[in-house]
Chains A and B, each alone.
Chain A
Amino acid sequence: MSKIGVFICHCGENISATVDCEKVAQDIRKVEGVEYAIDYKYMCSDPGQTLIKDAIKEHHLDGVVVGSCSPRMHEPTFRKACAEAGLNPFLCEMANLREHCSWVHEKGEATTEKAFDLVKMLVEKVKRNKPLDSIKVPITKKALVIGGGIAGIQASLDIANTGHQVILIEKDPSIGGHMSQLSETFPTLDCSQCILTPRMVEVAQHPNITLYTYAELDSLEGFIGNFTAKIRLKAKSVDHKKCTGCGACFQKCPQKRIPSEFNAGLGTRTAIYVPFPQAVPNKPVIDREHCNYYKRGKCKICEATCPTGAIEWDKEDEILTEQVGAIVVTTGFNVKGADFFPEYGYGQYKDVITGLQFERLASASGPTLGEIRRPSDGTIPKKIVFIACAGSRDEAKGIPYCSKICCMYTAKHAMLYQHKVHDGESTVFYMDIRAGGKNYEEFVRRAIEEDHVNYVRGRVARVYEKNGKLIVKGVDTLLSGEQVEIEADMVVLATAGVSNCGAEQLAQKMHISYDPYHFFAEAHPKLKPVETNTAGIFLAGACQAPKDIPETVGMASGAAVKVAGLFSNNELVREPLIAVVNRSAPPVFSTCVGCFMCQTACPYNAIEREEIKGRDGKVIKTVAKVNPGLCQGCGTCVAFCRSKSIDIQGYSNEQMFAEVMSLLNH
């Protein structure tokens, strides 16, 4: 015979405004199995919880139903209180009288009746509850960071400095990301590589960080604390253990005209190459798509030149399997190219370039060694037009959002140009100036007031080429829409920031959410910016949305601390509300017939096969078994099972039917 205690909460006025809590408590007292019932103003408060604890002890309760708010709010609170009073916490359930009743109905008899019904349902359920224990799962204290830009570098260093192991993988031959392509960073005009490369070297040398470049995530399985990651180490064709980074090979490589990705297509590289002089690791890889040997079986000059015999022609991709406990995704972003713009020439005008390409021109390690020169004829442009919002804030082009960083980097580019070409004239066509960070507004004012960059408010309708010049047709909306035409030598488009290529596939491999623009989804836009909806996978940097370096670094450190927090426990505690396949005495052993439909149905691969053997070692039958570490308690298997041999602890079929019957037998 059950002895259930029922506690009805007024929740201040949230519930009592429409539900007669006293009446519910009185009526429920009459239900068979209810030993004690009371109503109180704030059950979750200290005195409220004491009420529950005292009642458990005084009346020897073997079950508790709290009729109050959503379990999402206070289930842990009440279960803890019960545990403190000596009652198994899983014998405590909550009836949601607030979100499911008082908040959605008007005051009246019907509302109170519904509240009573809800509580009665839970009473019937709790009568059939069994005491359960939390499942403890070990945690692998190793982190995987995917993406070696500034976000990945920062996150790796922070996690490594807490004493945990980190695996950092990067798909390009070197870490550094877009920040290594920048010339200077705003608002300080620090040389970008000068502040980045020390961190890159730190990553390479840190004892707790294992760096794999030219590597990608192949597949991911598992759950928080227990992921199995398969990493594809792409064949570099160069044995980095033998290579000393002397550089003799790429000096001799005959394939010299491959467009350099690092120089955003403005410069060239060889087939065997190091992307830039400060690359980490500073050892080359062979681009098999362009290498003479892989394409036509000829050449092999690099092998002949190499003093240590480091070239490995027949090397194949390797798959490395690693167990990790947490993952930080820092795969960064991309920018649209000039070919995205029909009105600016479909990419056919060589002197219409993107902001990233301008960075490479301005950079001392770039194709023009830091001089601003026209890609078409190499002359120094005397008039440059910068077009802000190229593609961003443009619904017609499918990019309605603002790319955040362009106003700042456009001001920076104009300033750099003015500093390098003193008699040059620069004009920026803008719609708004978004300079919200620390010292950002002052930076833009400097461009306008000290470096005399012309800011014109209006967009550019089109750009076309005539006699080697670019005719820019813009407008000044602050002068009531006066048309402005400029004959420029170069046009720089601040193109929209978009998700990196392969973002969708990566998100699907990891089972994390992403938005329509393929930026990865944070768990809560305000309060959980570095977490995803998938436990154990964290985000940092521009893969979540375009952002600048300080925000990226902040997020990376934030993600790192989440990982460190996770690793500070020895075990993960999981709720025992999982599926179990029944077991009984011989000769039945289990009603499971071994059809394994549950295994097919399980989305989490949580069902295994178990062989039941006799004393002689012979297999009597093979039945299904649930892995308590993987099961998420979704119940799909229960729906599939034909013999009803599998059930969810705490949400059994019997309990569900009892709840329904309690409503029908009103």
Chain B
Amino acid sequence: MENKNKISGEIHSHTGVEVARCYQCGKCTAGCVLASEMNFPPSYLMRLLQTGTEENYDRILRSNTIWLCLNCENCLGRCPMEIDIPKIMDYLREQSLNKKKVNRDANPIVSFHKSFLDSIKYTGRLYEVGLIAAFKARTFRLTQDVKLAPKMYLNGKLNLLPEMIKDKKGIREIFSKTIDNPKTKNK
């Protein structure tokens, strides 16, 4: 039978997950390590998706739930209906970004991801100093981890210079065709 629900239909075509399969048992939430920190836990998020309303979908995209989710996959590992919640979370994160609905409290998390990707865009490999610098610039957390940095350096864990791959152009192209592609922003 044709799915008249637009939202669950989109979720299905992008992630392969049929949200109607969730019978709200809550096992995912029971085993989620960060459920108590989230605006609402994963089983609740599934219920919001099931209602299919734009209002509830908006609520999801604006929540911190999707950004706090660690993709640790404990939920999928235990779900009796094998619902791929981590995959849904990845999809919702992309939607939240593209539609500019990122939760304010989750900004540091998004800033970290952005700084990480910026770092590898230009060198092909992670440049930790660059990552932290970019993160601090975005979040103004100038004094965070300052005590840690010297010890890291002394332990040999902090490379002052970036390591660059040869095919930097190839990496930049990958970025421009995917995340930096203006066409994908409004998907």
Interface residues of A (CB under 8 A from B): 343, 389, 393-397, 431, 457-462, 473-477, 480-481, 483-484
Contacts and interface: CB of A to CB of B under 8 A. Distances in A.
Contact of B43 (A396, A481, A484): A481
B29 to A, nearest CB: 4
Contact of A483 (B23, B35, B79): B35
Contact of A459 (B30, B41, B74, B82): B30
A395 B30 contact: no
Contacts of B44: 480-481
Main secondary structure of the interface of A (DSSP, over half): mixed
Q: Which 6 A-B pairs have the closest CB atoms?
A: A461-B31, A461-B30, A475-B30, A458-B26, A394-B80, A481-B41
A483 B30 contact: yes
Contact of B23 (A396, A431, A462, A475): A431
Nearest to A456: B26
B24 interface: yes
- Residue among A460, A475, A484 with max Cβ neighbours from chain B (10 Å): A475
B78 interface: yes
Interface string B23-39: 11111111110011000
Contacts of A474: 26, 30
A427 to B, nearest CB: 13
Nearest to B31: A461
A133 B42 CA distance: 71
B24 A477 contact: yes
B81 A343 contact: no
Interface in B32-75: 32, 35-36, 40-44, 74
A475 B26 contact: yes
B31 A481 contact: no
11 contacts: A393-B23, A396-B79, A459-B27, A460-B30, A461-B27, A461-B30, A461-B74, A461-B78, A462-B78, A474-B30, A483-B29
Contact of B31 (A389, A462, A476): A462
A389 B32 CA distance: 20
Contacts of B28: 461
B29 A431 contact: no
Interface string B151-170: 00000000000000000000
B29 A475 contact: yes
B27 A475 contact: yes
A431 B25 contact: yes
A459 B25 contact: yes
A480 B48 CA distance: 11
Interface in B125-171: none
Contacts of A473: 30-31
B31 A477 contact: no
B36 A483 contact: yes
A458 B40 contact: no
A480 B42 CA distance: 10
B40 A477 contact: no
A481 B79 contact: no
Contacts of A477: 24-26, 29, 43
Given A474-B26, A475-B27, 15 more contacts: A393-B80, A396-B78, A397-B80, A431-B25, A458-B30, A459-B30, A459-B80, A460-B27, A461-B78, A473-B31, A475-B26, A477-B25, A477-B26, A480-B41, A481-B40
Contacts of B41: 475, 480-481, 483
B133 to A, nearest CB: 38
B72 to A, nearest CB: 12
B23 to A, nearest CB: 7
Given A431-B23, A460-B30, A473-B30, A481 B80 contact: no
Interface string B60-104: 000000000000001000111110000000000000000000000
